[in-house]
Chain A
Amino acid sequence: MNRFQFRDDLTSADVAFDAFGSTREELFRNAAAALLKVMLDQPEALLEKEERRFALRSELGDEGEATEELLHEFLQRLVYYKDADEILLAVKSLRFEKKPGETLLEVDAVGEKIDPPLKALGALGTDVKGVTQHHFGITRSDSQWKATIVLDI
């Protein structure tokens, strides 16, 4: 199974991709990998020098809607760290937890500062300004989760 696949057909001005996973956790991890690939041409160059742990919660009762809300917030948070802390991050671990009235997502992400190290490598790609709602959605079959995401460039 591909981790993610960039798409030609959903947008001309920005970047669209489908992310895949055999589990919800894998889907989120691969969506984050696709986001990173847009901003860092050589994601393998990313060292684990910075760490960010954060938790997100959705109060939506429907599991599908809650998962979509969390995916959007999760990717937006990675974009936030890019601007606020000037770091690019990859997912080290993530965990869902269902509690009464809410779904929690705990994330441990690692990466490094953009400038100077990554910029000096010539490894940077295109800046992402945010995650849109355009075509945004998650579908699930027996063996596969799939998310469609359009990033605003």
Chain B
Amino acid sequence: MIEGITRVSENLWEIPTSFKSGMRVPARIFASEKLLKEMDDAVFDQLTNVACLPGIFPYAFCMPDGHSGYGFPIGGVAATDAHDGVISPGGIGFDINCGMRLVTTTLTYRDVKPRLEALVNRLYQRVPAGVGSSGFIKLSRSEFLEVAEQGAHWCHRKGLATDDDLARTEDRGRADGADSSRVSQHAIERGIKQIGTLGSGNHYLEIQIVKPENVFDSRLAQAFGLFPDQVVVMFHCGSRGFGHQVASDYLKTFLRVMGPKYHIEVADRELACTPFQSPEGQAYFAAMKCAINMSFANRQIILHRIREVFSEIFGQSPANLGLRMVYDVAHNTAKLENHLIGGRIRSLVVHRKGATRALGPGDPALPEAFRSIGQPVIIGGSMETGSYLLTGVESGAQALFSSAHGSGRTMSRTRAKKEFRGKDLSEDMRRRGIYVRSVSYSGLAEEAGKAYKDIDEVAAITEAAGLSHRVAKFTPIGNIKG
């Protein structure tokens, strides 16, 4: 526990501005005492550096799954004033709009179990994953730029998305204001072949079941189309090389102009920033939106392929199989949002890095299906432990309606590869009823469940802290990893 941290309430801690010279606001961490003690010192150092950013308001936040990142901690939320604050690529992350999508089916575990291996094997063949994987949709340069500006709407025009898919995607699958002229040729060349690919690392496509004992709120579960023993699909991926290059390009630009032009100093190069209203800040915002859109399209196209595979394996149309989206949520973004704080509406650039937006019931930005119940929030766990569906809640206002996104690592990839053997892990998981296909055994070892925090604790504390409300936990039975 760092010196100077105070407990505001059971699951909320505060580091005062006196902790570090330059802090403009306090830092607030949502965590149990146990989760707080598991956070490495770099989390606190990074979070208090974030608290020094010009225009930050009202706090630098850290979610219960917080762990150290680059500049910003992962699980970090920081809002800056839209008029005189900054924008920082480090506050979004390199994998812009890395996010989660949850899809229901009308199938039960009993329906799927006899064909589970065939299903996973076919998904493994049909959804590209791993190093250098390229997508099955070949785009010209102009088409790719359309995708970058239109996101999932491009998919809809091409018959790869339904109206319902768009309605159930955050921001309807398109960040308005994307400008493809703001992205580099290198970024385009890196991304053009990657539409419809899963990637690698902690990205995955998982077949899961809803065990009756894992339904926390049966009313909300029903509202989301969940039922006991149901099979659902969840996948996690982002903007691939495209988003990464956008972030890298603008980090380089910001490092060059930040000091000489805007007289801004930051404690960490990865916190490089410019005024949001500056030409560079606006250019990055427009380019970032291209990456957001590419990622929405990426997940939409993967869903299209998932529907095709399910239809092939089970011999019915996707509609008959009930392959319907619950929601698609982003966890590495910056959004221009209005928040009521201290009786005043503030226009803020809300950076969420490894953190999810979690709008509460009644928010007009929610699709009609969720307006009375709150925004779905998806927290992904490891391939061995499961994932969660939650909803946004009214008390989420305390964190600008933000929530956790995952369980966070406790062990480095290098160490995980020493401790675990991918082949053994795969066989062990199979004995436990989880059939996994991975492009790389070493990559699989890196993703061992023991390398991650306890997802149940993260989800429970996310609820106890008043950030989101648990609806159901999903148990993995099949997994594809890159």
Contact = CB atoms under 8 A, between A and B. Distances in A.
B248 A130 contact: yes
Interface in B75-105: 94-95
Interface residues of A, number: 42
Given A13-B74, A86-B193, A88-B132, A124 B244 contact: no
Contact of B131 (A15, A114, A133): A114
A150 B94 CA distance: 13
B269 interface: yes
B94 A12 contact: no
Contacts of B412: 7-9, 11-12, 16
B201 A82 contact: no
B306 to A, nearest CB: 21
B133 A125 contact: no
Interface string B395-431: 0000000000000011111110000000000000000
B440 interface: yes
Given A124-B131, A126-B442, A76 B69 contact: no
Nearest to A12: B409
Most buried by A among B40, B94, B199, B413: B413
A132 B94 contact: yes
A119 B194 contact: no
A27 B412 CA distance: 24
Contact of B413 (A15, A80, A83, A132): A15
Interface in A126-149: 126-134, 136
A139 B244 CA distance: 27
B470 interface: no
Contacts of B71: 134
A14 interface: yes
B131 A129 contact: no
B244 A130 contact: yes
Interface string A16-57: 100000000000000000000001110000000000000000
B28 interface: no
Interface in A93-138: 114-115, 118-119, 122, 124-134, 136
A82 B189 contact: no
A133 B251 contact: yes
Contacts of B189: 80, 83-84
A128 B131 CA distance: 8
Most buried by B among A86, A125, A128: A125
A86 B132 contact: yes
A136 B439 CA distance: 29
B131 A132 contact: no
Interface residues of B, number: 50
B134 A126 contact: no
B201 A127 contact: yes
Most buried by B among A15, A83, A86, A130: A83
B382 to A, nearest CB: 13
Contact of B200 (A86, A127, A133): A127
A12 B410 contact: yes
Nearest to A17: B414
Contact of A15 (B132, B244, B248, B414): B414
Contacts of B40: 12
A9 B411 CA distance: 10
A12 B248 contact: no
Nearest to B447: A126
Nearest to B191: A83
Contacts of A133: 70, 251, 255, 269-270
A134 B70 contact: yes
Given A15-B413, A80-B189, A115-B133, A126 B70 contact: no
Given A84-B241, A153-B202, 12 more contacts: A80-B186, A83-B190, A83-B240, A88-B131, A114-B131, A118-B131, A122-B441, A126-B442, A127-B131, A127-B482, A133-B70, A153-B200
Interface of B: 40, 67-71, 74, 94-95, 130-134, 186, 189-194, 199-202, 240-241, 244-245, 247-248, 251, 255, 269-270, 409-415, 439-443, 446, 451, 482
11 contacts: A9-B412, A16-B414, A40-B131, A80-B190, A83-B191, A126-B200, A130-B244, A130-B248, A134-B70, A136-B269, A153-B413
